């Protein structure tokens, strides 16, 4: 699923949870992980003196300092790196969100993993809050999925225990939904359990409609039909269990319709024709 992962980190305890998820993903998918850290912000112009993004201290930047920071990062994540085959460490200077987006455009990762906290401390942390959130800016402008881990997560320690998919029905939301389906097809057992529960709940809803309306035909459509067998097999099982011997709906046909662009165009044309020829009709 993911072959290239960009892990943006402050190399502090604030990003430990994100590091665990990022490295576990790299090991699970045999992906290359690029550990990226922004050293600081130039004090003025192209000055070699930078303001450390974590402490707010001014630091003189040279090649030795870059190598020192890289070595500190490698040491900090030594346990995870030993278990990972393909990895690299990069550092840069500048505004964190700009540099993260810059390297993302360059290496074109499949996903960006970030911590929900920049690791800033003391009075400098308060200043960072005023200037806005790095991960919010990255998530808004990135051209790939962005995963933000701001607390201990069960994911990738035995899979997902619970999933909430928030959507605004945009193209971007559709892409996110497709990623969930890909993860499901990779045999994520915990995610399969989520679909099992969703199918059972959907079955209860369909059964209630059948009880109230006794329809001859029920059509299920929308983006969710792409889930396919993992979702609808449990839906049908749930309906069969609820039917029982007393209430039968043998005459009700349930159709799962995967709409295409032609179907939407046909329906739009039907609405237009209905408006044109609706009563009263004047010649």
Residues in CB range of 258: below 8 A, 6 or more apart: 221, 225, 226
Question: Is residue 184, in this structure, part of any structural domain at all?
Answer: no
Residue 218 per-residue DSSP state: E
Dihedral angle sign, alpha carbons of residues 152, 158, 161, 167: positive
Q: Are 153 and 193 in the same domain?
A: no
* CA–CA–CA angle 91, 97, 102 (5° rounding): 65
Q: Are 193 and 152 in the same domain?
A: no
Counted domains in the chain: 2
The predicted-structure confidence for 196-248, as pLDDT tens digits, reads as follows: 888 899 989 998 888 888 888 898 887 778 778 878 888 998 888 887 645 55
The predicted-structure confidence for 43-55, as pLDDT tens digits, reads as follows: 555 556 666 656 5
Question: Is residue 68, in this structure, part of any structural domain at all?
Answer: yes
Please give the residue range of the domain that contains residue 41: 4-157
Q: Are 221 and 263 in the same domain?
A: yes
Q: Are 110 and 35 in the same domain?
A: yes
Q: What is the pTM of this model?
A: 0.60
């Amino acid at each position: 699923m993911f072959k290239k992962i960009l892990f943006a980190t402050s190399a502090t305890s604030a990003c430990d949870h994100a590091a665990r998820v990022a490295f576990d993903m790299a090991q699970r998918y045999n992906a290359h992980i690029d550990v990226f850290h922004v050293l600081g912000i130039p004090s003025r112009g192209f000055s070699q003196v930078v303001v450390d993004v974590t402490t707010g201290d001014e630091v003189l930047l040279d090649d030795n300092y870059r190598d020192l920071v890289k070595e500190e990062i490698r040491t900090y994540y030594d346990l995870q790196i030993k278990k990972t085959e393909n990895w690299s460490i990069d550092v840069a200077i500048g505004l964190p969100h700009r540099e993260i987006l810059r390297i993302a455009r360059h290496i074109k990762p499949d996903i960006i993993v970030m911590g929900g906290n920049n690791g800033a401390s003391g009075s400098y942390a308060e200043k960072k809050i005023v200037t806005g959130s790095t991960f919010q800016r990255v998530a808004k402008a990135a051209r790939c999925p962005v995963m933000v881990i701001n607390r201990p997560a069960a994911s990738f320690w035995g899979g997902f225990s619970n999933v909430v998919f928030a959507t605004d029905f945009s193209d971007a939301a559709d892409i996110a939904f497709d990623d969930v389906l890909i993860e499901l097809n990779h045999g994520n057992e915990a995610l399969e359990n989520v679909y099992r529960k969703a199918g059972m709940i959907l079955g209860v809803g369909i059964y209630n409609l059948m009880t109230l309306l006794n329809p001859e035909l029920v059509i299920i459509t929308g983006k969710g039909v792409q889930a396919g067998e993992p979702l609808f097999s449990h839906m049908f099982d749930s309906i069969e269990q609820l039917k029982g011997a007393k209430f039968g709906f043998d005459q009700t046909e349930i159709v799962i319709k995967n709409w295409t662009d032609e179907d939407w165009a046909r329906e739009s044309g039907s609405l237009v024709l209905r408006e044109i020829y609706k009563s009263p009709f004047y010649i």
